[in-house]
Amino acid sequence: GAVVSQHPSWVICKSGTSVKIECRSLDFQATTMFWYRQFPKQSLMLMATSNEGSKATYEQGVEKDKFLINHASLTLSTLTVTSAHPEDSSFYICSARSGRIDSPLHFGNGTRLTVT
């Protein structure tokens, strides 16, 4: 089956630093990738949608300058949390699908970010 690899699985950083999270589709070309954020015991909230080679589309309320998304290739998207603060601590999950709009989404295993 389709595999999405997300790295790192967890990261602890100091307030004010930046953290990069990678999302890779290992056995298919991901024309579209999605980044989600999940707070404890809550559902997933979509942060942004990225299409390969173009700028990401951010959801309302998500700061594009704080959460930088790059989708430079068909197999890799990155999310960079810039100048992280404790309130950015959360579980971040990426997902990817191939070009067909009716194809299912495949998710990475998530990244637990803790900002101290």
Partner 1 sequence: KQEVTQIPAALSVPEGENLVLNCSFTDSAIYNLQWFRQDPGKGLTSLLLIQSSQREQTSGRLNASLDKSSGRSTLYIAASQPGDSATYLCAVRGGGFQKLVFGTGTRLLVSP
Binding site for partner 1 (CB under 8 A): 4, 6, 32, 34, 42-46, 49, 91, 93, 95, 101-102, 104-110, 112
What's the closest the beta carbon of residue 85 comes to partner 1, in angstroms? 22
Q: Which is nearer to partner 1, 14 or 43 (CB)?
A: 43
Name residues whose C-beta falls within 8 Å of residue 74's C-beta, 6 or more positions apart in sequence. Answer: 25, 29, 30, 31, 52
What's the closest the beta carbon of residue 42 comes to partner 1, in angstroms? 8
What's the closest the beta carbon of residue 44 comes to partner 1, in angstroms? 5
